[in-house]
Chain A
Amino acid sequence: MIKIEAIVREDRFEDVKQALQDINVHGITVYQVMGCGTQKGYTEYVRGQKVDITMLPKIKFEIVVSTDAWAEKTMDAIQKAAYTGMPGDGKIFAYKLDNAMRIRTRETGPEAIQPRD
């Protein structure tokens, strides 16, 4: 099993969600996060005084898939949907996962994350 974490722009949220649905990845968890990287922040003016905003709001997706092939497909879909070409597009991380359990049935391993009727 592989866990994928993707940090993307706020305004790409709907596109990424749709892209994942299109490849039949339905188990997603979404976080609203703050972060910084290569992208510069922006400047707000409060009554004419500069305020630098360095931590930017981003959206983080967490997805667990069963195989390497699925992981590749998922990362590909996220990359395409979140791409703008400007600094600040975000990152995708993937790592091996030891175990999982479906709370409703006590199934473990890949069965726990497969869709079930």
Chain B
Amino acid sequence: MIDTGNTGFVLLCAAFVFFMTPGLSLFYGGLVRRKNVVNTMMSSVFLIGVSIVLWVLFGYSLSFSGNIGGIIGNLDWFGMNGVGMEPGPYADSIPNLAFACFQMMFAIITPALITGATAGRMKFKAQFIFMILWSFIVYYPMAHMVWGQDGFLGTGFLHSVDFAGGNVVHISSGVSALVLCIILGKREGYEKQSYRTHNIPMVAFGAAVLLFGWFGFNAGSALAADGLAAHAFMTTAASCAAAIVTWMLMDVIISGKPTLIGAATGMVAGLVAITPGAGFVPVWSAVIIGALVSPLCYVMISFAKKKFGYDDALDAFGCHGIGGMWGGIATGLFGLSSINSVAEWDGLVFGDWHLFAAQVLSIVITIAVAIVGTLICVAITRLFTPLRVSQREERVGLDISEHNETAYPSFNGLD
């Protein structure tokens, strides 16, 4: 039975989530050097085109129609065939199409997150091919395994929980980003030249758009305009807020002054961390989850990245990979089946280890899928094109070399 309130709410949330991708393009675009801003924003914008086309034709069906071995769906819903105005198997009060719309927006932003690690050196052609392959090899199977009917990580076998996409969205994209940036190699002059953020207000505004969209991302994942949606809304706000404060605190402790980029990064990290648990953990624990994610990500970005020497340009792994893993673990610590009965057990702090173990296992499996999937995608992409631009193209900047556009034609120079 269609509920108009629920349908309206989910469609509106879908539009919120859609808005996150342009927001991400501002966030990433501001962070790069001026000569790469067009390419960096384009890396998100082209996915609005490609991912929606793929989703309508194959993606929704492969992710959510039927079940093949708990790994992937079938092609019964190819081209949205049979997906109509009546409720589908996933939510009984909204049209199947509304659920398909909502999920579609996740399929856009997830590959877009990866582009933060590859900024400033990956060929656009290679990125285009890679992202199409990645959608099929990593994203659709992940979405099915976690959220699909009898998915392997969800109801089918492991019974781990992921409210709004900690595994599906953040760990998968973060880990793939790490693998890809290691394969690509460092940007030229990495750690010798200054890679200064070219537009900090753009970063702050992009983060604000992400935050706004994230309320739809998490609250909408209740798939109904109900108490659980309100609960997810509040945990989202609490975690994000705590993470802003603790990132500022880390800034002050380590370098003496709080920074706007730091506050914006903390905001995003806090949102990532609460994503898997937004509809499972009590509100008070969201403050703890958010407060701890910033120090974790800060240490990864400031120290571990330097020590291991990989060039995760805009910290896609540092924020989304690490933040997502902490969020998944935290869900195993603080989850309560009385809040949402999808979780079959309570978390570790309430004395039951089952959920915690399932969460950790699901994270390990997600990491494995992302690593193997990315390696396969890279191998296939290399059949068509090198991954990286030439040295001269990198120095001139990808805006000119890949798109023949200049973001700020009145200025020229070295940054």
Residues of A within 8 A of B (CB): 10-11, 13-14, 32-34, 42-45, 53, 57, 59
Contacts of B307 in A (CB 8 A): none
Known: A34-B412, A57-B413. A10 touches B404 (CB 8 A): no
> Within the complex, what minimum Cβ distance (angstroms) separates B386 from chain A?
19
Alpha-carbon gap, A117 to B396, bound state (A)? 37
Partner of A32, one of B189, B406, B413: B413
With both beta carbons as reference points, the residue of chain A lying nearest to B415 in the complex is identified as A32
Are B413 and A43 within 8 A (Cβ)? Answer: no
In the assembled complex, the Cα of A13 lies from the Cα of B395 at a distance in Å of: 9
Nearest to A58 among chain B residues (CB) is: B412
CA distance A53 to B400 in the complex (A): 12
A-B contact pairs, 28 of them (CB 8 A): A10-B395, A10-B396, A10-B412, A10-B413, A10-B414, A11-B392, A11-B395, A11-B396, A13-B414, A14-B189, A14-B193, A14-B395, A32-B412, A32-B413, A32-B414, A33-B412, A34-B412, A42-B400, A42-B404, A43-B404, A44-B404, A44-B405, A44-B406, A45-B404, A53-B406, A57-B412, A57-B413, A59-B414
Expressed in whole angstroms, the Cα–Cα distance for A10 and B400 within the complex equals 13
Q: What residue in chain B is nearest A84 (Cβ atoms)? A: B392
10 shortest interchain CB distances as A-B pairs: A11-B395, A57-B412, A32-B413, A44-B404, A11-B396, A32-B412, A11-B392, A13-B414, A44-B405, A34-B412
Q: How far, in whole Å, are A34 and B413 apart by their CA atoms in the complex?
A: 9
**Closest CB in chain A relative to B111 CB, distance in Å:** 26
**A16 CB to nearest B CB, Å:** 12
Instruction: Report the Cα distance A32→B414, complex, angstroms.
Output: 8
Chain A contacts for B395, CB-based, 8 A: 10-11, 14
Q: Which residues of B contact A57 (CB under 8 A)?
A: 412-413
Known interface pairs A10-B414, A32-B412; 19 further A-B residue pairs with C-beta atoms within 8 A, sorted by A's residue number? A10-B395, A10-B396, A10-B412, A10-B413, A11-B392, A11-B395, A11-B396, A14-B189, A14-B193, A32-B413, A33-B412, A34-B412, A42-B400, A42-B404, A43-B404, A44-B404, A45-B404, A57-B412, A59-B414
Tell me the dominant secondary structure on chain B's binding face.
loop
CA distance A10 to B394 in the complex (A): 11
Q: What residues of chain B have their CB less than 8 Å away from a CB belonging to chain A?
A: 189, 193, 392, 395-396, 400, 404-406, 412-414
Query: Considering only CB atoms, which chain B residue lies closest to A57 in the complex?
Result: B412
Contacts of A33 in B (CB 8 A): 412
Residues in B with CB closer than 8 Å to A45 are: 404
Contacts of A42 in B (CB 8 A): 400, 404
Chain B residues with CB below 8 A from A44, complex form: 404-406
B206 vs chain A, min Cβ distance (A): 24
Q: CA separation between A30 and B244, bound complex, in Å?
A: 39
Chain A's nearest CB lies how many Å from the CB of B79? 30
Q: Report A88 CB to chain B, min CB distance, Å.
A: 11
A5 CB to nearest B CB, Å? 18
Closest to A44 in B: B404
A34's nearest neighbour on chain B, judged by CB, is B412
Q: Give the residue name and chain of the B residue nearest to A12 (CB).
A: B395
- Chain B min CB distance to A111 (Å): 32
Chain A residues lying within 8 Å of B405, measured Cβ to Cβ, are 44
**In the assembled complex, which residues on chain B have CB atoms less than 8 Å from the CB atom of A53?**
406
A32 to B392, CA, bound (A): 18
Closest to B391 in A: A11
**Residues of chain A lying within 8 A (CB to CB) of residue B189:** 14
Chain A residue with the shortest CB-CB distance to B412: A57
Chain A residues with Cβ under 8 A from B412's Cβ? 10, 32-34, 57
Q: Among the interface residues A10, A32, A33, A59, which one has the most CB atoms of the partner chain B within 10 A? A: A10
B392 contacts across to A, CB distance below 8 A? 11
CB-nearest residue of chain B relative to A15? B395
Docked complex Cα distance between A34 and B404 (Å): 18
